[in-house]
A and B are shown apart, each in its own frame.
Chain A
Amino acid sequence: MSYFLQQLINGVALGSIYGLIAIGYTMVYGIIGMINFAHGDIFMVGSFIALILFLILLSLGVTMIPLALLIVLLVAMCLTAVWGWTVERIAYRPLRESFRLAPLITAIGMSIVLQNFIQVAQGARVKPLQPVVTGGYVLSEGGGFSVILSNIQILIVVTTLVLMVLFWLVITRTALGRAQRACEQDRLMASLSGVNVDRTISLTFVLGAMLAAVAGLLYLLYYGVIDFYIGFIAGIKAFTAAVFGGIGSLPGAMLGGLIIGLIETFWSAYFSIEYKDVAAFSMLAIVLIFFPTGLLGRPEVEKV
């Protein structure tokens, strides 16, 4: 039982990170109907920016951890947002209203570019960071196994929850959110009603990149090592999560992230660690067979 509880905690923490990345996929998909393959790499760029920021703060002698975290969080979000914006501007905006597969290919191209840019600029070796957030609570002890809820896990889940709430408010309460939803429904009509479509789409990428930066930072803190390749795996998982939950749906992305995180953690814990990805992907295929538009996606009525 305590083993189960521990895995549950680990799974939720991992799932939160996936969920944060998945939101970026789901928002972009919702608004322009394309798979932003480069989003996983934006997440990776975010984690690199966060790591460099930590090193800068370290060399400046900032030792107050909460302050350091806050600075890294805010600056990484801003800088990663610029990356998200640039990728959209260079690779997707020129292809708006064009062939649907074209932006998919540029997205894959951008993903290759980002990975290799980081590899060239920062080297291919894994980059470690000594633990920043340490400590935790022992929830239960006994049977030679103690259930530990670490501070970093608390930080991950709390940050995710806070961001989700903030985000929900942005989408439902602000003019930007309204413009986004309008563009989702009908881009032409939205532009005719005075919505600046290009700006709305750009802001969507910016918001997605910001969340990816947060996910990157949390990933860095949680695992302590990053390399230029983490974006691919995490990206595929997060996209799977977004589809799982029903692509285009924000709660769906979060739910999907949690489920994928849990499946992976539990499969590794109880069956085999090698096949954890197979478990996640198979679960996706099975879910899609029964819910062709994901768990929380709108069922599609075929227009004849």
Chain B
Amino acid sequence: MRPWQYDPLLKVGHLTMRFGGLTAVDNVTFQVARRDITALIGPNGAGKTTVFNCITGFYKPTEGTVELRQPGPHDFRLERMDDHDINSVARVARTFQNIRLFQGMTVLENLMVAQHSMLWPASGYTVGALLGIGGFVKAQNEAVEFACHWLERVGLLARADEAAGGLPYGDQRKLEIARAMCTRPLLLCLDEPAAGLNARESDGLNELLFSIRERDGISILLIEHDMSVVMRISDHIVVLDYGKKIADATPEEIRNDPSVIAAYLGVPDDELAEVEREVHL
């Protein structure tokens, strides 16, 4: 048994997603361990984002289970939950491949929206706050404080009052992560967080992800194309190709896995032996 199989936070079991005749994800099973950084990699069109969308509820999987094991007594069956409940109840947060910030709202507003699940009841479902009953002001101050904490962590505190859409690209990526973290998740799913970042920004991202794991004790599941990032930060890598899982191991093992290399280089099976030989040279 591999280390991530003992007491995983997330168990994806036999996940299958079909769109019409196309099977985008085919019987994929993997686990995400607590306080691990797990990477989901694979060539373009391998079905990584589809897996993400199934986990976060944007797609309902055709078959299979997605189980989130809480520290508490409850387990959540994510495939049966609504997308917003997956965030607010099961506490899984995500970012998007093409950044989806609220561009016309300020950086701080973005983070306030992220704390909606906490603030909405605190505002007495609006009625209380309108009438001035309940502790909305206190809750809001706490929310601002929490937002500032995260803005500081991603280095955007000075730009809190600027429009999110006006930030440079790298800052937008960081803000999206901060926004996801403001929902106070247990599992953070990042869809290509390093895409479009330069080397220095990419290093900063690595540090941020490490600190999220170490300091906040949050598990991270990420899709990434940048192998240097993946190899450096992941504890555990799952490789997809044509919707199927072809490898599930530590970075060290993945580096030497011939089927992974073949998948990336697009080598037909009969040439695999040759590739394998070359790799082991």
A and B: direct contact (Cβ < 8 Å)?
yes
Name A's B-contacting residues (CB within 8 A): 301-302, 304
Whether A302 and B58, one on each chain, are in contact in the complex, defined by CB atoms closer than 8 angstroms, is yes
Whether B58 and A301, one on each chain, are in contact in the complex, defined by CB atoms closer than 8 angstroms, is no
Whether A304 and B96, one on each chain, are in contact in the complex, defined by CB atoms closer than 8 angstroms, is yes
- In the assembled complex, which residues on chain B have CB atoms less than 8 Å from the CB atom of A304? 49, 53, 58-59, 96
Whether B96 and A301, one on each chain, are in contact in the complex, defined by CB atoms closer than 8 angstroms, is no
Question: Which secondary structure dominates chain A's binding surface?
Answer: loop
In the assembled complex, the Cα of A302 lies from the Cα of B58 at a distance in Å of 8
In the assembled complex, the Cα of A301 lies from the Cα of B22 at a distance in Å of 14
Can you sample 7 A-B contacts with CB below 8 Å? A301-B19, A302-B58, A304-B49, A304-B53, A304-B58, A304-B59, A304-B96
In the assembled complex, the Cα of A302 lies from the Cα of B19 at a distance in Å of 12
In the assembled complex, the Cα of A243 lies from the Cα of B19 at a distance in Å of 25
Nearest Cβ on chain B to A246's Cβ, whole angstroms = 17
Residue of A whose beta carbon sits closest to that of B100: A304
- In the assembled complex, which residues on chain B have CB atoms less than 8 Å from the CB atom of A301? 19
The 6 closest A-B pairs by CB, nearest first: A304-B58, A304-B53, A304-B96, A302-B58, A301-B19, A304-B49
Residue of B whose beta carbon sits closest to that of A303: B98
- In the assembled complex, which residues on chain B have CB atoms less than 8 Å from the CB atom of A302? 58
- In the assembled complex, which residues on chain A have CB atoms less than 8 Å from the CB atom of B59? 304
In the assembled complex, the Cα of A304 lies from the Cα of B17 at a distance in Å of 15
- In the assembled complex, which residues on chain A have CB atoms less than 8 Å from the CB atom of B96? 304
In the assembled complex, the Cα of A24 lies from the Cα of B10 at a distance in Å of 52
CB proximity to A under 8 Å, residues B67-96: 96
In the assembled complex, the Cα of A301 lies from the Cα of B59 at a distance in Å of 10
In the assembled complex, the Cα of A302 lies from the Cα of B53 at a distance in Å of 11
Nearest Cβ on chain B to A303's Cβ, whole angstroms = 9
In the assembled complex, the Cα of A192 lies from the Cα of B153 at a distance in Å of 43
Residue of B whose beta carbon sits closest to that of A302: B58
- In the assembled complex, which residues on chain A have CB atoms less than 8 Å from the CB atom of B49? 304
**What 1/0 mask marks residues of chain B from 44 to 73 whose CB sits below 8 Å from any chain A CB?**
000001000100001100000000000000
Residue of B whose beta carbon sits closest to that of A301: B19
Residue of A whose beta carbon sits closest to that of B83: A304
Nearest Cβ on chain A to B223's Cβ, whole angstroms = 12
In the assembled complex, the Cα of A302 lies from the Cα of B59 at a distance in Å of 9
Nearest Cβ on chain A to B122's Cβ, whole angstroms = 29
Nearest Cβ on chain B to A252's Cβ, whole angstroms = 20
In the assembled complex, the Cα of A304 lies from the Cα of B53 at a distance in Å of 8
Residue of A whose beta carbon sits closest to that of B96: A304
Residue of A whose beta carbon sits closest to that of B58: A304
In the assembled complex, the Cα of A301 lies from the Cα of B58 at a distance in Å of 11
In the assembled complex, the Cα of A304 lies from the Cα of B96 at a distance in Å of 7
Nearest Cβ on chain A to B97's Cβ, whole angstroms = 8
Nearest Cβ on chain A to B78's Cβ, whole angstroms = 15
- In the assembled complex, which residues on chain A have CB atoms less than 8 Å from the CB atom of B53? 304
Nearest Cβ on chain B to A204's Cβ, whole angstroms = 30
Residue of A whose beta carbon sits closest to that of B97: A304
Nearest Cβ on chain A to B47's Cβ, whole angstroms = 13
In the assembled complex, the Cα of A302 lies from the Cα of B83 at a distance in Å of 13
- In the assembled complex, which residues on chain A have CB atoms less than 8 Å from the CB atom of B19? 301
In the assembled complex, the Cα of A302 lies from the Cα of B96 at a distance in Å of 13
- In the assembled complex, which residues on chain A have CB atoms less than 8 Å from the CB atom of B58? 302, 304
Nearest Cβ on chain A to B44's Cβ, whole angstroms = 16
Nearest Cβ on chain B to A101's Cβ, whole angstroms = 15
Nearest Cβ on chain B to A265's Cβ, whole angstroms = 37
Nearest Cβ on chain A to B138's Cβ, whole angstroms = 35
In the assembled complex, the Cα of A226 lies from the Cα of B203 at a distance in Å of 72
Residue of B whose beta carbon sits closest to that of A304: B58
